[in-house]
């Protein structure tokens, strides 16, 4: 008896999970963790963006970093300065000439200890070359793609967009689907920004004539002000503190009630920032975001503790957007929008309406067919089928799955398999009764002897669904998720719930069941 009550409880619980989806008006009366199933892009409408990871810009940035790391390693005073000449960066290959031939092995050893296995170090005489191999470049691309997907996901979630679908495609592309987003321009702008923030000292020795000519001295760059068109700031190329050391960033207000962005560095960044502000009091440093100067304040006093503040005439929304970008992290490579598609909410509504009509007609024909062929047992099968449908919707809501057109196809396929799973025991019961077996015994034998066939068939479908989920993408995964949920609910309803309801219907009596002789009424 306890087993039967547990089965009924699970079935009722599964149906209740589907109520907020079936009737959204009742959703406020349910706990917050029971939510309606969110609709996908093809049903709700929204935007779809296809982004490309700019690997060319990424490799260029990596080679520039390699150039700076090699230079720093060679002039490390703690380990001894290695004299060199002709340090250059040509098409991703960093090379230099060691002045004293006896220092070649020392230079190679130091570079390998600093750079590890990230680059290939080769020497020819007194010339040392460093470059990335094809394998290392492939690993960098895959790492950049994975990091970009995660950063884009954090940015979109921070903006309050619900149920985004973000996945890799074709090795260096990212497909983003944003259900319910009618105008993706704002999100596209934020996604497209690299959000790479760095801190540089300002070169105060640059003359107005040099600024006017646009010819920067060696080791200096002329970067444009973000909010002052036509004005540039001479900054040293050396990065004093990297934005990668940022731990948190929030929009706030300063003493004059103006929007600012507060920054908090991690332990390493805090030490570097404290050293920078201690050694360069009364000098300016530039806060650079994506190659443009946000601001270039004067260092009035040392700033220990790793907390800073960025001001730049922000609006409140601008400060919030910048905080989101910095908090989510810098993209490892620029992202370029190469395709944009918008699905109107009206098209989604038409699809839903057509789906409702089609589903209703299909369910109606199934119900009538089961009633005509199996009578009272057919009514039980119809009840189990409806419970199965509700449980699929309820489990999808509980797991946070998004309903799409392929998902609806998975539900329809599941219902067809569920009907088949009900027919197998009924036909087996018919065979037992024709063989002269008492009704109650025939029911038990019918379910017992058909369960193996039902279980084998459903497990085969589950294996196929798991393979589709593992190797598929986008709509195929949505279909696989819905099909997997449907297989589990079908096993529960057709093997356990159906037997419990038939046992209650029989009431422990050997009732005559007319469908054994193909009569409509039992």
Going by pLDDT thresholds of 50, 70 and 90, the confidence category of residue 474 is low
Number of H helices, E strands in the chain: 14, 17
Whether residue 480 sits in one domain with residue 403:
yes
Would you say residue 346 lies in a domain?
no
Which is nearest to 454 in space by CA: 485, 423, 475, 483?
423
Whether residue 374 sits in one domain with residue 294:
no
Of the residues 340, 373, 405, which one is the last residue of a structural domain? 340
Largest CA distance in the chain: 109
Contacts of 368 by beta carbon, 8 Å cutoff, 6+ apart = none
Mapped onto helix, strand or coil, the DSSP state of residue 99 is coil
Whether residue 485 sits in one domain with residue 412:
yes
Whether residue 477 sits in one domain with residue 439:
yes
In whole angstroms, give the CA distance from residue 61 to residue 330.
13
* pLDDT over 50 (residue 431): yes
Range of the domain at 165: 48-52+146-340
Whether residue 124 sits in one domain with residue 88:
yes
Q: What is the CATH number of the domain that holds 99?
A: 3.30.1240
What per-residue confidence (pLDDT) applies to 161? Answer: 44
Would you say residue 347 lies in a domain?
no
Torsion of CA 144, 147, 148, 150, to 10 degrees: 160
Query: Tokens 């589903």 belong to which residue?
Result: 359
Would you say residue 183 lies in a domain?
yes
Tokens of 228: 């002052």
Per-residue pLDDT of 255-300, as tens digits, reads 788 888 887 888 878 888 888 888 888 888 888 877 888 778 788 7
* pLDDT over 90 (residue 429): no
* pLDDT over 80 (residue 218): yes
Whether residue 312 sits in one domain with residue 182:
yes
Would you say residue 43 lies in a domain?
no
Would you say residue 522 lies in a domain?
no
> Under a CB-based contact definition with an 8 Å cutoff, are residues 522 and 514 in contact?
yes
Burial 361-385 (b: 16+ CB within 10 A, else e): eebeebbeebbeebbbbbbbbbbbb
Regarding predicted confidence, which is higher, 514 or 74?
74
In whole angstroms, give the CA distance from residue 324 to residue 186.
13
- Count of Cβ atoms closer than 10 Å to residue 84 Cβ: 19
Asked whether the whole model's pTM tops 0.85, one would answer: no
Q: What is the CATH number of the domain that holds 305?
A: 3.30.1360.200
Q: What's the mean per-residue pLDDT of the chain? A: 81
What per-residue confidence (pLDDT) applies to 26? Answer: 84
Of the residues 301, 318, 340, which one is the last residue of a structural domain? 340
Range in 149-163, 191-205, 444-458, 493-507 the model is least confident about: 149-163
Whether residue 391 sits in one domain with residue 301:
no
Whether residue 495 sits in one domain with residue 447:
yes
Q: Domains in the chain: how many in total?
A: 3
Per-residue pLDDT of 302-344, as tens digits, reads 888 777 777 767 788 778 777 776 666 667 778 888 888 777 6
Q: Which residues pair with 120 in a beta bridge?
A: 131
Whether residue 158 sits in one domain with residue 110:
no
Mind spelling out the 3-state secondary structure of 322-373? HHHHHHHCCCCCCEEEEEEEEECHHHHHHHHHHHHHHHHHHHHHHHHHHHHH
């Amino acid at each position: 008896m306890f087993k039967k009550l547990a089965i009924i409880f699970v079935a009722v619980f599964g149906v209740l999970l589907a109520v907020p989806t079936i009737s959204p008006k009742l959703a406020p009366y349910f706990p917050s963790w029971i939510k309606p199933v969110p609709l996908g892009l093809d049903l709700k409408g929204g935007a779809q963006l296809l982004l490309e990871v700019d690997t060319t810009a990424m490799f260029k940035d990596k080679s520039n970093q390699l150039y700076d790391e090699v230079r720093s390693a060679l002039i490390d005073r703690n380990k001894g300065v290695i004299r060199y000449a002709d340090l250059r960066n040509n098409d991703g290959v960093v090379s230099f000439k060691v002045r004293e031939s006896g220092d070649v092995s020392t230079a190679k050893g130091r570079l390998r200890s600093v750079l590890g296995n990230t680059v290939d170090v080769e020497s020819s005489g007194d010339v040392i070359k460093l470059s990335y191999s094809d394998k290392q470049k492939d690993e960098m691309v895959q790492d950049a793609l994975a990091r970009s997907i995660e950063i884009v996901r954090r940015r979109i979630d921070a903006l309050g967009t619900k149920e985004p679908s973000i996945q890799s495609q074709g090795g260096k592309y990212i497909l983003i689907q944003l259900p319910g987003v009618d105008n993706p321009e704002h999100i596209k702008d934020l996604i497209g920004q690299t959000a790479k923030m760095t801190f540089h000292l300002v070169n105060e020795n640059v003359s107005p004539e040099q600024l006017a000519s646009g010819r920067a001295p060696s080791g200096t760059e002329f970067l444009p002000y973000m909010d002052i068109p036509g004005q540039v700031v001479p900054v040293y190329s050396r990065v004093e503190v990297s934005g990668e050391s940022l731990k948190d960033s929030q929009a706030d207000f300063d003493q004059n009630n103006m929007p600012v962005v507060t920054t908090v560095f991690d332990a390493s960044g805090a030490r570097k920032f404290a050293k920078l502000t201690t050694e360069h009091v009364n000098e300016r440093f530039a806060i650079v975001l994506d190659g443009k100067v946000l601001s270039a304040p004067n260092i009035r006093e040392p700033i220990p503790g790793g907390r800073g503040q960025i001001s730049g005439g922000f609006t409140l929304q601008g400060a919030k957007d910048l905080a989101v970008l910095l908090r989510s992290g810098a993209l490892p490579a620029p992202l370029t929008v190469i395709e944009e598609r918008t699905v109107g909410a009206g098209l989604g509504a038409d699809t839903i309406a057509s789906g409702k009509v089609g589903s209703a007609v299909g369910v109606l024909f199934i119900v009538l067919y089961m009633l005509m062929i199996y009578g009272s047992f057919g009514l039980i099968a119809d009840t189990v089928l409806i419970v199965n449908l509700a449980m699929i919707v309820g489990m999808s809501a509980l797991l946070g799955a998004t309903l799409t057109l392929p998902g609806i196809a998975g539900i329809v396929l599941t219902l067809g398999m569920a009907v088949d799973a009900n027919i197998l025991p009924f036909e087996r019961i018919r065979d037992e009764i024709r063989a002269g077996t008492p009704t109650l015994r025939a029911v038990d034998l019918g379910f017992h002897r058909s369960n193996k066939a039902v279980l084998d068939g459903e497990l085969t479908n589950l294996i196929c669904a798991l393979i589709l989920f593992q190797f598929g993408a986008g709509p195929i995964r949505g279909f696989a998720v819905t099909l997997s949920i449907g297989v589990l609910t079908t096993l529960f309803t057709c093997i356990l719930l159906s037997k419990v309801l038939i046992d209650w219907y029989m009431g422990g009596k050997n009732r005559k069941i007319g469908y054994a002789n193909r009569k409509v009424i039992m």
